[in-house]
Amino acid sequence: MIPELGSFSLILALCLSVLLGTLPIIGAHTNNQIWMNLARPLAAGIFVFLGISISILAYAFVTDDFSVSFVALHSNTLLPMRYKLTAVWGGHEGSFLLWTFMLAGWMLAVGIYSKSMPLEFVSRVLGVLGILIFSYILFMLATSNPFDRIVPLPPADGADLNSALQDFGFIIHPPTLYMGYVGFSVVFAFAIAALLSGRMDAAWARWSRPWANVSWAILTIGIALGSWWAYYELGWGGWWAWDPVENPPLITWLFGTALIHSLAVTEKRGVFKSWTVLLAILAFSGSLLGTFITRSGLLTSVHAFASDPSRGFFILGILGIAIGGSLLLYALRAPLMKADFGFDLTSRELFLLANNVILVVSAASVFLGTLFPMVYQAITDDLISIGPPYFNTIFVPLMMLLFVFIGIGPMSKWKRTSISYLVAQLSKVLAASIGLGILLPLIVLMKFSLAATVTMILASWIVLTIGKDISSKIANKRSLAAGFKSLSLSYYGMQLAHFGIALMLVGASLTSYFSVERGVLLSPGESVDLGAYNFTLEGSSRIEGPNYVGEEAEITVMRDGDMVTDLHPERRIYVATGTPSTEMAIDAGFLRDLFVTLGEQKPDGAWSMTIYVKPFIRWIWLGAIFMAFGGTLAAGDKRYRRLRARQLEKAKRGAILSASGELQAAS
Amino acid sequence: MKPHRRKRLGIILFIATGLSVAIGLTLYALSQNIDLFYTPTQVAQGEVAAGQRIRIGGMVREGSVVSADDSLAVEFVATDYVHDVPIFHEGILPDLFREGQGIVVEGSLDTAGVFQASRVLAKHDENYMSPEVKAALDAAGASPEGHQMQPGT
């Protein structure tokens, strides 16, 4: 009976979303206060009913209700409690419910943190999100209801959660990624609301910015968590595989990164308005595309769900209507967004435009490489795959170019920056970066590689320009403390995020160029050298977990005759499914990771294994943390709150603001 | 030409140049990195030249897996139940690599007709069959279910 309540709750949420998707938008159009005032309570209602649904699904997992087909397929009586709870997103139906619930959460947040925006605007935003969530819930009820029962004979025990998912990474990666992904729906809704109202002014950009920053920060963490999880769980020793399902979050992230920079220009200078709107639509499309690729089963990937084509068509339908509709609206309204090019060819606007072009081109090339196999198959009927070399050839040089601009952009001025000023500011920094870039790899790793040198020059360039920029911005202040205080929170956020990029660059490049790995067969007592380390297999023993049995090897690692650590890689067999699974052993360090993955045991007791030494790999995720922290910090800038009162005043005057004059007054 | 027009033209040219360079690079990189997919039948019929990087999808033939005792080398046969391709791989096989399981291998044929696999992919979800493997079986007119019903193979 209780699972039926879950379905019922979904239906109620669907009904509310029909109201939310229509009344407030019509109300905003006809200036009907009562209908507009419905937006917030309706959004809250949808959140509550979806919350009830997802709680009931979790309850079904906890109570081992195997009459619910989704539970029977993804759980087992032996499954530890933390995985029973999180198995809610262990398959297509439940994870889509989580996705939808996340959207409801964002809607609730918009309802709460929008008190300073005009009601008309909030109604449109929530209305657009209402239409979106309506299509999601409809999709769920029509093709993938997580509460479907197995009648008449439910199984005695469940088929168990996929063993690869029984891991800490599974508990945190999907919710974080979804939250970041879905956050871009909010920014999209802001853009659509602005298009609907025809009022494309700086106020809209300012309202969107904190939401875009926060979504971007969460998405950054979500992607980094996925990369970290894949690194230690899948055990191929890499941190990014250009898998067709890794790519859409990256595409969304690249569009999102372009968007937060473009929003800055739109807010401060009132230009790039139509471009910013387009980016908001693109970032959102990227997130829908991710859903489509994962759930349609069209591409081969570790993430793909076993699925039937009707779902693919349904999502394709949503994709087509959402993207087509918004682009149509954009085409109708874009001519309204006129702006003068009030800036020079060497201005911060132009450097940010370069940033945008590079990011969009990178996103487009990743998109092309991801979807090309599908298109190729549709046209020629031949199956192909596009490997990592394609992505590396395109993506790496583009990023290098981008990193050059990271140094110049923040230092340049709006409207016009003289080239001689930039040269004066940056020539010493450039010389120092080149010196550091050549020396650092030699000192730290005592190795040389041209590619590593280039990337280290770029990383030094980013870090040194940040230092230079801060020092010249506070040079004229009374004291150092006063200088630091005079810089805004959003400035610090930006520089922190840029610093994070430098860390990530160092990690990615040193790991790629200086990692060593070796596949070996070791008998107990035998040892092998790799890099500066010596690995000895001490032996292996039998282990028993709650829902698995297996073997655990013990490996001691020495360096120059000193003990470094003990590693305990495992090989498990999950009892319910008989699925084998390898558990890597990793000794994580600030400067290097030691990593062992077990193969199989030979009849004579020897183990096959792969051993890796990966320098600086942690810096990749450390960099992501800095970037996310920077994004969040920037969203918390007090000017978003302080200026709201004035924005509200202005919005009430209701005129369609013409571009630059008013905008300059506002900033 | 008015100054703002000239500026706009400059920006448009800037974007157009960037885009065309990028598109050129992209197409070049794409053409260099397409891994065509073949079925065991196509390979057996000699459609693939030695040394060409390809992917093959098929099932691991039951009883064909031989792993060396003193190294990580392993040999097995990929099949679509009509034709077989011998595969050689040096390294650790994925967790879900099993006889009778669908796999995809990446690599190239050597002159002896043995496929030297640089990567072996098996899916983490047993209910899920990758499109490549399914296509191979469909093309050969065989199915794992049908195969299992024939005794003695």
| DSSP annotation of A68 | B
Are A519 and B34 inside 8 Å of each other by CB? no
Answer whether residue A220 shows pLDDT above 50.
yes
Q: Does residue B69 sit in the same domain as residue B133? A: yes
Answer whether residue A656 shows pLDDT above 70.
no
Could you tell me the CA-to-CA distances from A488 to A295, A408, A624, A639 in Å, in that order? 43, 19, 22, 9
Measured between beta carbons, the chain A residues lying within 8 angstroms of B67 are 600, 602
Q: Does residue B42 sit in the same domain as residue B89? A: yes
User: What average pLDDT score do residues A597-613 get?
Assistant: 86
Answer whether residue A664 shows pLDDT above 60.
no
Are B130 and A361 inside 8 Å of each other by CB? no
Work out the minimum CA distance from B71 to partner chain A, whole angstroms: 6
Q: Of all helices (H) and strands (E), which one includes residue A442?
A: helix A419-445
Strand pairing category for A533-544 and A607-615: unpaired
Residue bearing the bigger pLDDT, A578 or A399: A399
pLDDT score at A305: 53
- Establish how many alpha carbons lie within 13 A of residue B32's alpha carbon, considering only the half-sphere containing its beta carbon: 13
Q: Does residue B16 sit in the same domain as residue B69? A: no
For A637, list phi and psi in degrees, rounded to 5: -60, 135
Strand pairing category for A562-567 and A548-559: antiparallel
pLDDT bin (cut points 50, 70, 90) of residue A307 is low
| Cβ pair A201, A276 in contact under 8 A | no
Measured between beta carbons, the chain A residues lying within 8 angstroms of B8 are 341
pLDDT score at A115: 85
Q: How buried is A187 (Cβ within 10 angstroms: 0-12 exposed, 13-18 middle, 19+ buried)?
A: buried
Could you tell me the CA-to-CA distances from B85 to A435, A578, B64, B78, B79 in Å, in that order? 54, 28, 11, 5, 6
Answer whether residue B145 shows pLDDT above 60.
no
Q: Does residue B90 sit in the same domain as residue B67? A: yes
Tokens 């040394």: give the residue: B51
A407's tokens: 């140094």
User: What average pLDDT score do residues A562-570 get?
Assistant: 91
Residue B96 touches partner A, C-beta closer than 8 Å: yes
Are B26 and A581 inside 8 Å of each other by CB? no
Could you tell me the CA-to-CA distances from A42 to A12, A133, A137, A445 in Å, in that order? 11, 12, 15, 59
pLDDT score at A246: 84
User: What average pLDDT score do residues A215-230 get?
Assistant: 94
User: What average pLDDT score do residues A175-183 get?
Assistant: 93
Answer whether residue A625 shows pLDDT above 70.
yes
| Cβ pair A58, A50 in contact under 8 A | no
Answer whether residue A667 shows pLDDT above 80.
no
Domain boundaries, chain A: 1-166, 168-335+343-389+637-667, 418-514+619-623, 516-616
The Cβ of residue A497 has, within 10 Å, a number of other Cβ atoms equal to: 27
Answer whether residue A647 shows pLDDT above 80.
no
Q: Does residue B21 sit in the same domain as residue B44? A: no
The torsion defined by the Cα of A341, A346, A351 and A357, in degrees rounded to 10, comes to 70
Q: Does residue B42 sit in the same domain as residue B55? A: yes
The residues in A 297-326 lying below 8 A from B, measured between CB atoms, are 297-300, 302, 304-306
Q: Kindly report the average pLDDT of chain B as a whole number.
A: 76
> Could you give the CA distance from residue B43 to residue B49 in angstroms, rounded to a whole number?
9
pLDDT score at A629: 96
Total number of domains constituting chain B: 2
- Establish how many alpha carbons lie within 13 A of residue A33's alpha carbon, considering only the half-sphere containing its beta carbon: 0
Q: Does residue B8 sit in the same domain as residue B70? A: no
Answer whether residue B144 shows pLDDT above 70.
no
Domain that holds residue B85: 36-149
Measured between beta carbons, the chain A residues lying within 8 angstroms of B52 are none
User: What average pLDDT score do residues A418-426 get?
Assistant: 82
* A:B CB pairs within 8 Å: 123
Optimal mutation site among A361, A362, A595, interface B, most CBs of chain B within 10 A: A361
Work out the minimum CA distance from B149 to partner chain A, whole angstroms: 23
Answer whether residue B150 shows pLDDT above 60.
no
Are B92 and A372 inside 8 Å of each other by CB? no
pLDDT bin (cut points 50, 70, 90) of residue A230 is confident
User: What average pLDDT score do residues B140-153 get?
Assistant: 42
User: What average pLDDT score do residues A531-535 get?
Assistant: 90
Are A353 and B11 inside 8 Å of each other by CB? yes
Are A341 and B130 inside 8 Å of each other by CB? no
Please write the tens of the pLDDT for every residue from A471-511.
Answer: 888 888 888 888 888 888 889 999 999 999 999 999 999 88
| Cβ pair A528, A492 in contact under 8 A | no
Answer whether residue A570 shows pLDDT above 50.
yes
Work out the minimum CA distance from B70 to partner chain A, whole angstroms: 7
pLDDT score at A363: 92
Which of A15-24, A159-168, B19-28 bottoms out in mean pLDDT, i.e. has the lowest? B19-28
Residue bearing the bigger pLDDT, A190 or B23: A190
Which of A67-71, A292-296, A407-411 bottoms out in mean pLDDT, i.e. has the lowest? A292-296
Select, from the ranges A176-185, A325-334, A572-581, B37-46, the one with the highest average predicted confidence (pLDDT): A176-185
Work out the minimum CA distance from A141 to partner chain B, whole angstroms: 23
Which of A29-38, A538-547, B37-46, B134-143 bottoms out in mean pLDDT, i.e. has the lowest? B134-143
The torsion defined by the Cα of A367, A371, A373 and A378, in degrees rounded to 10, comes to -150
| Cβ pair A451, A437 in contact under 8 A | no
Q: Kindly report the average pLDDT of chain A as a whole number.
A: 86
pLDDT score at A184: 94
Answer whether residue A449 shows pLDDT above 90.
no
pLDDT score at B88: 93
Measured between beta carbons, the chain B residues lying within 8 angstroms of A167 are none
> Could you give the CA distance from residue A124 to residue A23 in angstroms, rounded to a whole number?
10
Could you tell me the CA-to-CA distances from A119 to A102, A197, A200 in Å, in that order? 23, 12, 16
Which of A255-259, A442-446, A504-508 bottoms out in mean pLDDT, i.e. has the lowest? A442-446
Which of A361-365, A482-486, A623-627 bottoms out in mean pLDDT, i.e. has the lowest? A482-486
Residue bearing the bigger pLDDT, A600 or A261: A261
Answer whether residue A92 shows pLDDT above 70.
yes
Residue A609 touches partner B, C-beta closer than 8 Å: yes
* Closest chain B residue to the Cα of A366, Cα to Cα: B26
Work out the minimum CA distance from B49 to partner chain A, whole angstroms: 16
Answer whether residue A636 shows pLDDT above 60.
yes
> Could you give the CA distance from residue A75 to residue A161 in angstroms, rounded to a whole number?
5
Are A382 and B15 inside 8 Å of each other by CB? no
For A529, list phi and psi in degrees, rounded to 5: -100, 140
The residues in A 541-580 lying below 8 A from B, measured between CB atoms, are 577, 579-580
The residues in A 196-235 lying below 8 A from B, measured between CB atoms, are none
pLDDT score at A308: 63
Q: Does residue B81 sit in the same domain as residue B70? A: yes
| DSSP annotation of A592 | E
Measured between beta carbons, the chain B residues lying within 8 angstroms of A612 are none
Measured between beta carbons, the chain A residues lying within 8 angstroms of B72 are 519-521, 599, 608
Residue B31 touches partner A, C-beta closer than 8 Å: no
Residue A600 touches partner B, C-beta closer than 8 Å: yes
The Cβ of residue A632 has, within 10 Å, a number of other Cβ atoms equal to: 20
pLDDT score at B8: 74
The torsion defined by the Cα of B119, B120, B124 and B127, in degrees rounded to 10, comes to 140
Work out the minimum CA distance from A385 to partner chain B, whole angstroms: 5
Answer whether residue B33 shows pLDDT above 90.
no
Optimal mutation site among B54, B72, B137, interface A, most CBs of chain A within 10 A: B72
B59's tokens: 């099932």
pLDDT score at B52: 82
Report how many helices (DSSP H) and strands (DSSP E) chain B contains, helices first.
4, 7
User: What average pLDDT score do residues B28-32 get?
Assistant: 77
